[in-house]
Structure formats: structure tokens, C-alpha cells
Amino acid sequence: MITALAARHRAMTLAALPLAAVPPLMAAPARAATPVRPAAGPSGVVAKSALLYDVTDGATAWSRAADTERPIASITKVMTALVVLHEGGLGRKITIKRKYLAYAKKHDGSTAGLHAGDRLTARELLNALLLPSGCDAAYALADAYGPGKGRFVAKMNDAARELGLDHTTYANFDGLPWPTATSTRSTARDQVRLAGYAMDDGTFRATVARRTYKLARTRAHHAYTWTNTNRLLGSYKGAIGIKTGTTDAAGYSLMFAARRDGRTFTGIVLNSSTTDERARFTDAAHMLDWAFGATDPYRVPPAPTNTTTD
């Protein structure tokens, strides 16, 4: 199902951490200036695992415990989106069932606030999945594209194998801690590689770059406004995505990407903190500031009110 994408990169080795053929948004000019940065790596990064990949040079810039398997929480939804995107049919209408809402409530998951009976397109639900990190939207997409959540999760694991993510296991479609807190797990290296595949898709790339997405009320559905949980967007110069994740076991985590001065970096921090949700953004900023040779340290903005934290 993602065979064609995997085939394009079969000749590349995992050790080299390929991030796909870079599309125009991610591409850099041939003579992009190399940033001046200390050789030792970024300071102040507290995440248990982290990796920063230089898309422009095609090499890992810095890493920590990059091959240690850890729970990844809602970063799981990157693969959920990728499976949907590669199956296509984004205009199909999906009816929101009560069981999707009950599921998110039962597991205390982040939601997009969907209403039972609403009919939304798969494209709209991708925004509900990736911006507010809606577990209700994840279930709706998995149920439609499996069909059924079990078959959908099998497709996620098949895709992981096809893409060479050999240390990645999906137990569900949203990263919630069931059947156990660590059933869905991966490594920083695998997930940054996945980020490259995902950002190679124009629809995915445009979706995760949005700060908000609004739908007006129609006969088919309620009005919705979804806000992106990634607070680097709009506050960190050059940030272009991509996904937050949080559970007690995973801690506050973030997959991120930024482009500045003709250079692009993709990275991840896993478990920056279990108590301070700002830590993941600060970690990512430390890594990016070091990579770009920035001299003006980034300050995490306050969390917006009445929004989902994931």
C-alpha cells in the first residue's frame, strides 16, 4: 500500500537516515550557506531521546539515544495520516459515530470535539487528526479506511515494515496507552525517517503547517475551529510542522521541522518532561538554534486558552 514510496528509497540505508526525495517546500538551493555552530551539539536539551536531521546535507546533525525504543504517544498519528493519504479518496464522506466520541472519552484522549451524526470528508478529518490531535478523528479514519480499527492498525504496521522502520510497533491508531502504556513504540531515528516520508506528501505538509483550520456550519456538520497543538508554528522563525505527542509514559514529545536561510532540518524529542509541556518546544528550539547558528534564543509563548494540549 506504500510499496511505491518504499521502492523509491530501497537503495538507501537506514544508517544514512534517508528522508525522501525533498519536495519544493523542503528543498534548499545548491549553495545554501553552512551554519556556524559548535561541534559538541546543542546545549540545554533535556529529552531522553532526540535526533536532528539536516535535510539539506542529507546527514544526521546530532542525536541522543536515537535507537532506544520509547512510547511515542500522538506522534503515532503521523503514520495514521500517511496510511490514509496513500489510500486516497480524501473527498469521501465519513459519518461520525457515537463510539468514536465514547472511545476518546474512555481513554481520556485529546479530541477534535466532533459531533455524532456529522458527515465530514477524510480531508477535513485529517485536519481534525493532526491539528488538535483528535483521537475521535483518528478512530473515524481508521474505521473507514481499515475498514475497522484492527485492519487499519495492521496497515500501519505493514507500512512501517515497508518503509524500513524496523524498531516501530503500532498497537493502535492514535498512540493512546492501550493495551499497555508502551505497546505503541518507536525510536527517534525511525520517527525522523518517517517525518521525511510524510513531509514528502504535499497534503500532509500543508496540513501540519496550519495554525488553525475552520469549517463553517453546513447541513452535513457543525461548525468547527481546530487549533494546532504545535506552538512552534507562528512563534519560531521558519517552523513548518509537524506533530506533538503526550502520555504519562511518553512524556511531552514533539516531531518538528523548520526551514531558514535556505536550510531545512527535521527532528524529534521524546520525553522532554513529564510535568512541563513547554520543555519539548524549548528542546526543539535549542536544537534548531544550534543548527541554524542562531544567536537570539527562542522563548516559548504561553499556551493558548481553551485549546487541547497533547
Q: Known catalytic residues?
A: 74, 77, 133
Q: Retrieve residue 164's grid coordinates.
A: 524500513
Render 26-93 in DSSP notation, one character per residue: T---TTPPPPP--TT--SS---SEEEEEETTTTEEEEEESTT--EE-GGGGHHHHHHHHHHH--TT-E
Three-state SS string across 236-250, please?
A: CCCEEEEEEEEECCC
Contact 78, 176 (CB under 8 A): no
Single-letter amino acid, residue 206: A
The cell for 161 is 515494515
77: closest CA among 272, 255, 273? Answer: 255
Cβ neighbours of residue 298 closer than 8 Å, sequence gap 6 or more = 235, 236, 282, 285, 288, 289
